[in-house]
Amino acid sequence: MHAPHRSSYLNAEIGLRSWLLTTDHKRIALLYFAGITFFFAIGGLAATLIRLELITPQGDLGSPDFYNRLFTMHGVIMVWFFLIPSIPATMGNFVIPLMIGARDLAFPRLNLLSWYLYIAGGLITVAALLLGGIDTGWTFYEPYSTFYATGYIILAVFGIFVAGFSSILTGLNFIVTVHKLRAPGMTWYRLPVFVWSTYATSLILVLATPVLAMTLLMLLAERVLHVGIFSPQLGGDPLLFQHMFWFYSHPAVYIMILPSMGVISEVVPVFAGKRLFGYEFVVWCSIAIAAIGFLVWGHHMFVAGQALYASLAFSFLSYLVAVPSAIKVFNWTATLHEGWIRFDAPMLYAFGFIGLFTIGGLTGLFLAALPIDVHVTDTYFVVAHFHYIMVGGAVMGYFAGLHYWWPKITGRCYPEYWARFAAILAFFGFNLTFFPQFILGYLGMPRRYQSYPPEFQIWHVLSSAGASILAVGYALPLFYLFWSILKGARAPANPWNATGLEWSVSSPPPAENFAVTPAVVRPPYQYDQGKPCMQADHG
Amino acid sequence: MQGFPWWPATASDYASRIDFLFGALLVVALLTAGLVFFLLLYFANKYRHTSTADRSGTTRKTWRFEVSWTAATLLIFVALAVWSASFYLRLYNPPPDALQIFVVGKQWMWKAQHPGGQREINELHVPAGQDVRLVMASQDVIHSFFIPALRIKQDVVPGRYETMWFRADKPGRYHIFCAEYCGTDHAHMGGWLTVMEPRDYAGWLRGQGGQQTLAAQGEELFRRYGCSGCHEPGGTVRAPRLDGVFGSPVPLSDGSVVVADERYVRDSILDPKAQVAAGYQPVMPTFAGQVSEDDLAKLVAYIESIGPKQAGAR
C-alpha cells in the first residue's frame, strides 16, 4: 500500500488500538462500514439460499424448519443490522460534521459506544442464529413467539434490544450535532438536504426505537416469566403486540428510506450541475414523512381483526404519507430540467433509485387501498413492494452515496466504467428478481412458503435468475472498491464539482476536518452555468 | 413448469370488481410512472453535459409547480382512498340469511363444520350463488384463511371469532392457503374450496352420511357440560334464559348493551365474568380450557338455533 502523501485522518494515528478506541467520527464511520458489510454478507447469503430453494415447487434444500430459519435470519439481519444503521451510521457519521463545518459529532465518545452496542447486538443475534436459529420471522408475531416458536429467541431478541440503544444514541448524537455545531453562516435553510434527511431520521430513531425496546422486553417477560400480555392463553391480546410492533416498525421503514432520499438529493443536483428544484419543499417533505409516518402503522393490520373505522383511517393516512414522497420524485425530476447532466456511477445509482422507488411507491398505493390489501397482503405482492422500497430504494441510495463519497472517504478514485457497469447490472438484476413477485402476489402466492403449487414456478425461476444477476451487481463494488484503495488514482478535493463544505477539504480529510472553521456564505447546490459555487469561500 | 399464469382464477362477482379496481389503480400507476420515466429520460438526454440545449430559463419561480403537483397528487390519492374504501365496507356487511360454516384453524390444518353436522378437513364445499359466512377460530397461533379466487382473506386470531363472507358464483376447485406464518408446516396448511351447483351440493351433503345437525350436537353438549342446569327453567341457580337471546341486544350489569353474536356467546362461555347480564350475579364458572373450539362451535350453533333470528354481526 502506498503511504498517503500527507497527513489525513487515516494516518494521523496507526495501529489497531487507534481504530478501536477512536473518537473520530470518520474512523467510526469506517468501523460501521466494516460491520455493515459483514452483516449484509450474512443476510445476502440467507437470501441466496432462499432463492435457490424456491426454484422448484417442492421443498428440497433442507427441512421446512431450515427454510423458516433462513427467512427469519434474512429479515432480522437485513432490517436491524444492515438497513437501519446503513446510511446514517456510515455516511451520516462521516459527512455530517464535514457538511456543517464541525470538528466532530457533539458526543464523540457516545458515538464510539453506539458502534460497540451495534456490534455487540449484532454478534449476540448472529450467535443465536448460528446456535440453531429462530423460526419466528423478523416480525415475532404473538402468541407464536411465546409458546410455539423454537430456538434461541431470548438471545436473538436480546441482541436486537441491545442494538436498539445504538440507534437511539446515534439519533440523539445527530440531533444535538445539527442543532449546536453548525458553522457560522450555516443556517437551517443552507443545510444540505442529506443533513435534513438524517435529522428527520434521527427524530424517528429517538422516538420510535424505545417502543421496540419495550415491546421486546414484554415479549421476553411473557416467554420467560409467563406474564400474560400478548398470548390469549395467558389472558393477553395478540393484536396488542402487532400494534406495538408496527408502531415502531412502520416508522422504521422511513428510517431506512429517508437517508437514501437525502443521498439522492445530494447526488442529483451535483451531477445535474444545477440547484435542487424546490429545496424547501424537499426538506419539509422529509419532516412530513417522519411525522405522518408515525400515524400509519395500522395498514399492516387490515386483515388482522382491527376495527373497521381504524382500518378506514389508516388507509386514508397511508395515502397521505405517500404525497410527500411523490413530491420528492417530482422535484428530483424537475432538477434535471436545463441541467448539465453527467452520468457518473453515483448518478446512475440515483437514476436507479428514482425508478425503483417510484415503482415501490406506486405499488404502495395498491396496498393502501383496503380491498386490494385484503387480497395481496401476506403474499409476494407485499414482498415485492417492500423490496422495491428497501432494496431498490434504500440499497440503491446506499450505493449511490458510497460511490459519491468514496473518493472523499478514501482519497482514491475507483474505476468508473466498472462502477457504471455494476450500477446498471444491479438495476436490471433487481427488476428481474422482484418484478415477477408482484405477479406472483396477485396470483395469490403467500409469502414465507418453502413449497408452493407448481403453477407459480415460472415466476419463481425468473426471480431466482434475477437474484443471481443482482448478486453479481452487489459483489462487484466489493472488488473494485477494494482495488481502488490499493491502486486507485489519488482523488482531488472536489472530483464531482460539488458545492458542500465536505468537498472544500482535502481527500481524505485531515483528522481535524477544518484547519479554520469555515464561514458559510450561500445555500448548497448553487451553480453558474454548470460551474459550482462553493458554500464556503475558503477552505 | 406450466407456462406464464398472468391472472388468478376468478370465482365470484366480488373478485371481478376487485380486479376492476386493481386495473384502475394499474392505469393510474402506469400513467404516473410513465410520465416520471419519460421526463427523466427526456431531460437526461436533452440536458446531458455535452449538449448545447437552451438553458436560459433557470431562474423561474418554482412554487407554482410545487403547489400544482402537490394538490393534484393529494386529490388523486384522496379519491383513490375513498373509492377503494367503498368496496371494503361490503366485507363488513354480511347478508342476514347466509349459510353459516364454522372453521377452526390449527397447526397445520383447516377444519370445517357445516350446519348439518358434516365435517371436513382442508376441504370446503359450498354451493354456488349462495351467500356463505365463515365463523372462524384458531386453536393455537394466528392463521389466515385466504382464498385467492375470491380475493379475500381474514386472519384468524386465537381467543376470538373472526368472520368472513362471500358468494362464489363459478363452480370449480380453488386454492385455500394459510397466509399468516404459523410454523413448521405453514406452507402445507391449505386445501381446496369446491364451489358446486346447488343440486350437486345437496347431493354432496347427503353423501356425507346421516349425522345430527350442528345445533343438535350443541344441545347435547349443553346438557353434558351442565349448562342446562342453570340456564333452563327449574335450575338451582338463577341464570338468564337463553332462548330468544341470540341476535338481540343484551343489557349488561355495567350499564352497556351488547348484541349477542357468536363472539359474545363464545366469550360468555370462556370468560363469563367479563360481560355479566344485568340483574344477575357473576356466579358462572369459566369453561376456558375445558371446551374445544369444535365443541364451542356446536354450542354457539345451538344457542343460535334457539334465538329468534340470525345475527347480523360483522
Give tens-digit pLDDT for A112-138.
999 999 999 999 999 998 898 999 999
Cβ of B146 within 8 Å of Cβ of A137? The answer is no
Among residues B160, B135, B156, B59, the alpha carbon closest in space to that of B301 is found at: B135
pLDDT at B282: 85
What percent of chain A is helix, strand and coil (3-state, nearest 5)? 70, 5, 25
Cis, bond preceding A492 (omega within 30 deg of 0): no
- Give me A22's grid cell: 477512536
Contact B222, B299 (CB under 8 A): yes
How much is the pLDDT for A5? Answer: 56
Q: Which residues of A touch B189 (CB under 8 A)?
A: none
Q: Do B69 and A327 touch (CB under 8 A)?
A: yes
The number of C-beta contacts closer than 8 angstroms across A and B is 248
Residues of chain A contacting B91 with CB distance shorter than 8 Å: 371, 374
pLDDT band, very low/low/confident/very high, at A539 (cuts 50, 70, 90): very low
Q: What is the pLDDT of residue B312?
A: 42
Q: What is the pLDDT of residue B311?
A: 42
pTM: 0.93
Q: Are A354 and A361 in contact (CB under 8 A)?
A: no
Q: Shortest Cα distance from A303 to chain B (angstroms)?
A: 5
Q: Tell whether B155 is within 8 A of chain A (Cβ).
A: yes
Residue of A nearest to B57 (CA): A338
How far does B40 lie from chain A, in Å, by closest CA? Answer: 6
- Is B40 within 8 Å of A342 when comparing Cβ atoms? no
d(CA A369, CA B285): 44
Matching residue, cell 449484532: A122
Chain B residues near residue A371 by CB distance under 8 angstroms? 18, 21, 84, 87-88, 91, 151
Residue of B nearest to A446 (CA): B179
- Encode B18-57: b = buried (16+ Cβ within 10 Å), e = exposed: bbebbeebeebbeebbeebbeebeebbeebeeeeeeebee
- Look at B47 and A338 and tell me if their CB atoms are within 8 Å: yes
Q: pLDDT tens digits, residue range A269-325?
A: 999 999 999 999 999 999 999 999 999 999 999 999 999 999 999 999 999 999 999
Distance of alpha carbon B298 from alpha carbon B304, whole angstroms: 10
Judging by DSSP bridges, how do beta strands B172-178 and B143-147 pair with one another? antiparallel
β-strand pairing of B99-106 with B132-138: parallel
Shortest distance between the Cα of B233 and any Cα of chain A, in A, equals 33
B293 neighbors B162 (Cβ within 8 angstroms): no
Among partner residues A143, A277, A379, which is closest to B141 by beta-carbon distance?
A: A143
B242: which 3 cell numbers? 337463553
The domain segmentation of chain A, as residue ranges, is 16-533
Residue among A64, A333, A444 whose CB faces B185 most closely: A64
Question: B111-125: buried (b, 16+ CB within 10 Å) or exposed (e) per residue?
Answer: bbbbbebbebeeebb
CB contact under 8 A, B80 and A340: no
**DSSP for residue A76:** H
- Cα–Cα nearest to B294, from B137, B75, B78: B137
Tell me, yes or no, if B186 comes closer than 8 A to chain A by beta carbon. Answer: yes
Averaged confidence pLDDT in chain A? 94
Report the pLDDT averaged over residues A59-70: 93
Which of A303, A311, A322 is nearest residue B144 as measured by Cβ atoms?
A303
Average of per-residue pLDDT across A399-425:
96
The predicted structure's pLDDT at residue B241: 83
Tell me the HSE value of B86 on the side-chain side, using a 13 A CA sphere.
7
Positions in chain B whose pLDDT score sits under 50 = 310-314
CATH for the stretch A16-533: 1.20.210.10
Q: By percentage, how much of chain A surpasses pLDDT 70? A: 99
CA A1 to chain centre: 32
Q: State how far the Cα of A135 lies from the Cα of A430, in Å rounded to an integer.
A: 27
For A495, the 3-state DSSP assignment is coil
Q: Of A537, A522, A494, A526, which Cα lies nearest the Cα of A186?
A: A522
To the nearest whole Å, the CA of B149 is away from the closest chain A CA by 8
In eight-state DSSP terms, residue A520 is: B
Strand partners, B100: B133
Please write the tens of the pLDDT for every residue from A458-503. Answer: 999 999 999 999 999 999 999 999 999 999 999 999 999 999 999 9
Q: What residue type is assigned to position A450 of the chain?
A: Q
For residues B122 and B128, what is the distance between their CA atoms, to the nearest angstrom? 19
Of B87, B155, B188, the CB nearest to A303: B155
Task: Using CA coordinates, name the residue in chain B closest to A68.
Answer: B184
Closest to A205 (Cα-Cα) out of A115, A80, A35, A103 = A80
Q: How far is B173 from chain A, CA to nearest CA, in Å?
A: 14
Q: Cβ separation of B43 and A333 shorter than 8 Å?
A: yes
Rg of chain B, C-alpha, whole Å = 27
What are the CA-CA distances from residue A282 to residues A26, A84, A372, B134 (Å)?
27, 22, 30, 48
Inter-chain CB proximity A371 and B177 less than 8 Å: no
Ordered structural domains, chain B, with CATH: 10-32+68-211 (2.60.40.420), 214-305 (1.10.760.10)
Report the alpha-carbon distance of residue A52 to residue B202 in Å, rounded: 46
Q: Which helix (H) or strand (E) holds A421?
A: helix A416-443
Cα separation, A506 vs A486, whole angstroms: 19
pLDDT in tens, A388-398: 999 999 999 99
Tens-digit pLDDT profile for residues A454-463: 999 999 999 9
Instruction: State whether B80 and A319 contact (CB < 8 Å).
Output: yes
Query: A64: nearest CA in chain B?
Result: B184
Answer whether A303's CB lies under 8 Å from A311's CB: no
Angle formed at CA B270 by CA B237 and CA B113, multiple of 5 degrees: 115
Give residues with Cβ within 8 angstroms of B121, minimum separation 6. B109, B110, B111, B112, B191
Q: Stretch A406-420: mean pLDDT, rounded?
A: 96
Kindly state the average pLDDT of the residues A336-354: 95
Chain B, 59 to 78: residues with Cβ < 8 Å from chain A are: 62-63, 65-66, 69-70, 73-74, 77-78
Burial A292-331 (b: 16+ CB within 10 A, else e): bbbbbbbbbbbbbbbeeeebbebbbbbbbbbbbbbbbbbb
Q: What DSSP designation does A198 have?
A: H
How near does any CA of chain A get to the CA of B234, in Å? Answer: 34
CA distance A166 to A145: 24
Best residue of B141, B154, B193, B270 to probe chain A, by most A CBs closer than 10 Å:
B141
